[in-house]
A and B are shown apart, each in its own frame.
Chain A
């Protein structure tokens, strides 16, 4: 009997014939921490009596969620993590380098890897065919120390993509649509596995956007096969040797299959306060927006910034609306500078933030006040997520965000093109 992507990867990592429902102990290739969950992870690591990360894995610490530090307590946490990185021989990725998941995709995760991160959006590396899973501090600490973790091999839901995206419809619209269909807990404990001929229309940056949000349907992993697009991406990032092809078996067993015709999709928005609260963007016409945020691990990539720059070129952001832009990594910022996108956006009135999480988690750089509404390209719109519990967060694609910045109200990007 054939295997799903999850079963294949976990079979190799656990050296067993892993099937959905099995519980396995698996070898971990990469463990990473970030600056808001990292300090507790390190304290649990030390409390467990570990001194150094297991030699068999790569250990990386990121400074991205509160970077540069907005508060002295965070600065102390940063110092604590830097000291741990130095003492333990772990790699530290400094303030300003970008969001952990983006750097993991650009330079660390390989197809077939088992990646454990102290952050729920670790699933994003599934866009490259890695089984990548977010965990809490104690689990991550133990994985870091032992070089392994226990996992229940998930049942898989196959998402069969066909066709091509219409103009102004993007990967973000696909995953929002899917979460609306599945519900915020529709894939809890499961692996979402993407396939079908529609994959041909999706380069790695778009696959990363989709995999990133698998967790918003509760999924444990969001997996894409590793194919020509993966090889191209790795080669473009100077990692051609990290490529290996990876696909599910043709006779793998799925819990169910959901077909999605990309051609039927349209720009959509998640309304407050749950990610599965999906409506077509056009139905929210007239909804006033005080802040637009383009960035995050979901949609802070070069392609996203290029889409926004394309819509805003030669125009001005609506008076009364703030447009914040945070490239997801330093590499993206540099590429966007070279391509002229940053100049275009700043001329249009955008505020440029350093590579990092920016205002995504309500900590700094654009915290919302009571009654304010934000259209964000991020992945979460929970109550209180971006600041005041009485603020409202809407989620959409970079195109919808740019169109909204232009008009000051939620706007279907097809209306401004």
Chain B
């Protein structure tokens, strides 16, 4: 069970919003890079986000570059899951590979600042603030197993190979 506060964003949040190319020289200095997380979408985000909080967005979250630094700095900021109406393919895979859950659900009724509870076992999201219940889309079996192990590297350590 995860519990935290919502930071709400709109549609088409790109990897440039999350971690702009102008900070590419900081990519081998992750603590420094992480200070700029979501900077071009909300410059106050990095200062306000707390361990366990959620990013909730509209359509096509994470479009653009393949830079895995984008989900990585989001995870480093303490975000425990991303909820979006849809997610860009590469970002989706990257987040799962890092053990960062990304859930596809109807986020329209979730507001900035709401408290959410996510029950992975039950596949349910409860908006504690407004009392609404939501369900999220299923992800392929192989991704579930990667997520269960906490990411692709721990998965590989355990299973030794990719398997379907």
List residues of A whose CB falls within 8 A of some B CB: 23-25, 36-37, 39-40, 44, 47-49, 65-66, 70-71, 73-74, 76-77, 80, 117-120, 122, 134-139, 142, 146, 148-150, 152, 184-185, 188-189, 218, 220, 274, 361-363, 367, 380, 382-385, 387, 389
Contact = CB atoms under 8 A, between A and B. Distances in A.
Contact of A384 (B17, B68, B88): B17
A220 B89 contact: yes
Interface in B1-22: 12, 14, 16-17, 20-22
Contacts of B72: 40
B130 to A, nearest CB: 27
A36 B67 contact: yes
A73 B28 contact: yes
Contact of B94 (A23, A117, A139, A220): A139
Contacts of A184: 12, 60, 63
A50 B90 CA distance: 23
Contacts of A70: 25
A387 B140 CA distance: 37
B22 to A, nearest CB: 5
A364 B69 CA distance: 19
Contact of A139 (B17, B20, B39, B152): B152
A71 B21 CA distance: 13
B63 A384 contact: no
Interface residues of B, number: 47
Given A71-B25, A136-B66, A382-B64, A188 B89 contact: yes
Nearest to B41: A383
Contacts of B97: 136, 138-139
Given A40-B28, A134-B66, 6 more contacts: A23-B142, A136-B90, A138-B151, A188-B89, A383-B17, A384-B40
4 residue pairs, one from A and one from B, having the closest CB atoms? A136-B94, A361-B21, A136-B68, A185-B60
Nearest to B86: A185
Most buried by A among B66, B141, B152: B66
A84 B71 CA distance: 25
A363 B24 CA distance: 7
Contacts of A39: 27-28
Contacts of A138: 68, 94, 97-98, 151-153
Contacts of B59: 185
Given A120-B90, A134-B90, A389-B20, A37 B66 contact: yes
A188 B86 contact: yes
A135 B156 contact: no
A132 to B, nearest CB: 12
Contacts of A37: 65-69
24 contacts: A37-B66, A37-B67, A40-B28, A40-B69, A65-B24, A66-B24, A73-B26, A74-B25, A76-B28, A119-B66, A136-B91, A136-B94, A139-B152, A142-B152, A142-B162, A148-B162, A150-B142, A185-B59, A188-B86, A189-B89, A218-B60, A367-B22, A382-B14, A383-B40
B162 A47 contact: no
Nearest to A137: B68
Nearest to B68: A136
Given A119-B66, A135-B90, A362 B20 contact: yes
Interface string B126-164: 000000000000001110000000011100110001111
Contact of A383 (B14, B27, B161): B14
A315 B140 CA distance: 57
Contacts of B35: none
Contacts of A48: 153, 156-157
B16 A380 contact: yes
B29 interface: yes
A362 B25 CA distance: 11
A47 B164 CA distance: 23
Interface in B48-86: 59-60, 63-69, 71-72, 86
Nearest to A44: B153
Given A23-B140, A36-B24, A382 B16 contact: yes
A389 B39 CA distance: 9
Most buried by A among B20, B24, B64, B164: B24
Contacts of B20: 362, 384-385, 389
Nearest to B22: A362
A125 to B, nearest CB: 15
A290 B28 CA distance: 33
A47 B66 contact: no
Contacts of B60: 184-185, 188, 218
Contacts of B12: 184-185, 274
Contacts of A384: 16-17, 20-22, 39-40
Contacts of B26: 73
Contacts of A119: 65-66
Given A40-B27, A148-B162, A218 B16 contact: no
Nearest to A380: B64
B140 A66 contact: no
B164 A385 contact: no
A37 to B, nearest CB: 6
Contacts of B98: 138
Contacts of A40: 27-28, 68-69, 72
Contacts of A188: 60, 86, 88-89
